[in-house]
Amino acid sequence: MELSFLYLFRSQSPFLTLQPPQKPVLLFCRRNHDKEKLKNLLANLKTEKDCRTLYYYLSKRMENENELKDLFDRHYHLIGKSHNKVRNLKVAIAGLGGSGSTAATAIVKMGFTNIILSDFDIVEPANVANQSYNYDQIGKKKTEALKENLLKINPFIKITIFEGISEKNVDEFVKNADIVIDAMDSYRAKVILSRALKRHKKWCIHISSYGWRASLTCIPPTKSYEELFSLPSLGRPLSEVSDEEFAEHRKKIVKIIGKNMYPKSIFKEPAKLKHPLFNLYPSGMLSGILAAFETYKFAIGKKNKMIVIPRFLKIDLMFNKYQLSNFKSKIKNKK
């Protein structure tokens, strides 16, 4: 395969006054670039200057690849050729709070290089203690602040930014990804995303953290978050569902997944639970790391090893409980 690419390079490029192009060309081939892409590049060569430009591009790419190899040297020893599958997967993360920002950080550290980030919020003082942001980033958009942090880990990654999830941008957000991590707080945004995932037949990893607990489940294209939690929007136009209905539903869910954790008084204040629930940093970090590893399983073709609904993982750090069980929503909505 590599020799055929090199032959293609020589046969279609008359400007061979370059220094030996073998190394950058072979590297270009080895890193999962297809024949058509190389043909298109070569088709644009009109002058010796163009050829030198291409050679320079490939050479710089080789330098970057060598640096990347050093960054992930220990990964290669552990996962071998699977690392290329990890690199090529496009991962979208909706919601960049404690769980989402940690998932993004873990994913980049695992070697994923094509990341799509979505959040509409800015970094607030309270976020510094619970999320992957620094004190000097207070006031910045979360998307920009996290992008800045991720590029410090690996400057060669590609990051695409969306300003939150809405009915206007959700299709573009979803169709450009291979898998989506949902770490959002807003039920309305979750429903918009859930419906788009089903339309575009994409997998979703749902994560959340509350108190000192973390939870995760993976949702295949044939199912949806709405169905899993019996949301009041199920089977209805979203415009007909009020914020109060979602708030009441959140209280019911918290009573199930956060049982014996929160003071009973929290359930007596209407609409209080439309806001994000309070939690400690380790639980958000844990749910993000769990999502990163489920993403890795997906990337290497181990879907049979993923935690897929109805299976639902809950980890309680305070009481040392690990529960992997079949989740059945006990919530009934008023018609």
Mean pLDDT, residues 289-318 taken together = 94
Residue 27 has pLDDT above 50, yes or no: no
Residues of the chain with CATH 3.40.50.720: 88-326
pLDDT band at residue 109 under the 50/70/90 scheme? very high
Residue 17 has pLDDT above 90, yes or no: no
Residue 7 has pLDDT above 90, yes or no: no
Mean pLDDT, residues 49-76 taken together = 62
Residue 318 has pLDDT above 70, yes or no: yes
pLDDT band at residue 232 under the 50/70/90 scheme? confident
Q: Which residue has the higher pLDDT, 11 or 165?
A: 165
pLDDT at 82: 73
Identify the three-state secondary structure at position 33: coil
Q: In terms of Cα–Cα distance, which of 333, 169, 120, 121 is closest to 240?
A: 333
Q: Which residue has the higher pLDDT, 321 or 79?
A: 321
Mean pLDDT, residues 309-313 taken together = 92
Q: Each residue of 38-57: pLDDT tens digit?
A: 666 666 666 666 666 666 55
Tell me: cis bond preceding 220? Omega within 30 of 0 counts. Answer: no
pLDDT at 121: 96
Identify the three-state secondary structure at position 207: strand
pLDDT at 132: 94
Other CB atoms within 10 A of residue 117 CB: 25
pLDDT at 212: 84
| Contact of 115 with 157, CB cutoff 8 Å | yes
Q: Each residue of 250-278: pLDDT tens digit?
A: 777 766 665 555 555 555 554 444 445 56
Q: In terms of Cα–Cα distance, which of 38, 46, 41 is closest to 14?
A: 46
pLDDT at 45: 60
Residue 4 has pLDDT above 70, yes or no: no
Residue 123 has pLDDT above 90, yes or no: yes
Q: Which residue has the higher pLDDT, 220 or 232?
A: 220
| Cα–Cα distance, 27 to 50 (Å, whole number) | 19
Q: In terms of Cα–Cα distance, which of 135, 205, 196 is closest to 162?
A: 196
What backbone torsions phi and psi does residue 249 show, to the nearest 5 degrees? Answer: -65, -40
Mean pLDDT, residues 55-61 taken together = 57
- Can you spell out the DSSP letters for 47-116? SHHHHHHHHHHHHHHHHHHHHHHHHTHHHHHHHTTHHHHHHH-EEEEE--SHHHHHHHHHHHHTT--EEE
Q: Which residue has the higher pLDDT, 33 or 162?
A: 162
pTM of the model: 0.76
CATH class of the domain at 88-326: alpha beta
Q: Each residue of 170-228: pLDDT tens digit?
A: 999 999 999 999 999 889 999 999 999 999 999 999 999 887 889 999 999 999 988 88
Mean pLDDT, residues 302-330 taken together = 87
